[in-house]
Structure 1
């Protein structure tokens, strides 16, 4: 009986521990530069032969120093540096993004399914926030100025908005995954291909189907580059 209890306890602790590992696993070697040409498909990328690795695998030239075009509908532009742009990030559990905001520009509500984000304002002012999960859906929001830092927990819906009418803003974000992913809420719900049934969305948002049809007919811009 005692041995059964110990076994069940061990299984429970193993399950708890497995649930606690919610981000990229720790690397088991110095580096694992992504071999994007490998036909082998794994969770991440196969390692490039270390004998063929060079300093350039860990380098990206002058990618984040220039202002980006923010003339789109949402007035923001996200420049990503993840494993797809920098092969040396493979298995290291981190990535980076520069975000440019036009006056009154917004990085719309979105989530990163695989990463926590820490954001630093480099120039200007931003109103930022995130919403907790059900059932409370509590909004945590702040106005940030140059040098201020804010954290968005992994998987939660969050946003950034430049409330200033005549000045742009710039922020730098670090994320706890080599490939954090981004799900922009409006794009995913109203711009999916093929579209979600208007019956489903009308019921979910408690509006007329005509409203859903109008929303689905809009162009939902992707501001992630």
Structure 2
């Protein structure tokens, strides 16, 4: 079973997931819905925000939903692979509901969204199940001295183990969003043992 078949078993998402996404937007937002599918979410977003770019590479799926778009003049449908599409520079928020998204693709989306000036990403692609909001503007570097979970903009997630005596509910349950995690440093070919990040 390939990734697209696997994802179709799970899509569309449940109403709770869509309601969580909709709760993150405001009237002035310009949103890109990456992998918009049948535009179920994009149409709801279009009722709430200034503009929605719905990017979907499946041509057959896009053709089937085009007749439903007349009531949404602020919904722009783009039939292309989002990994190569030139992102507009007026984005404020991106939605990436794509559990089959690879870590490399996730990192590419994050990098390109940051370059386009997008401020937030609502996604389930990093943790694969729960939906989270990622602040694309922060630059808190990974701190090897902080015990607990971290999630990096490269898509890596991990747990820095504390001394057993210092384990607390907070260190087990709190997740810190970071950049330049150990995986990033290894990918760059740097010996992590020699790398001491400046913690912002």
Q: State if a TM-score over 0.5 links the two structures.
A: no
**Greater percentage in strand:** 1
Greater Rg over alpha carbons, structure? 1
**Greater percentage in helix:** 2
**Higher RCO structure (Cα 8 Å, ≥6 apart):** 1
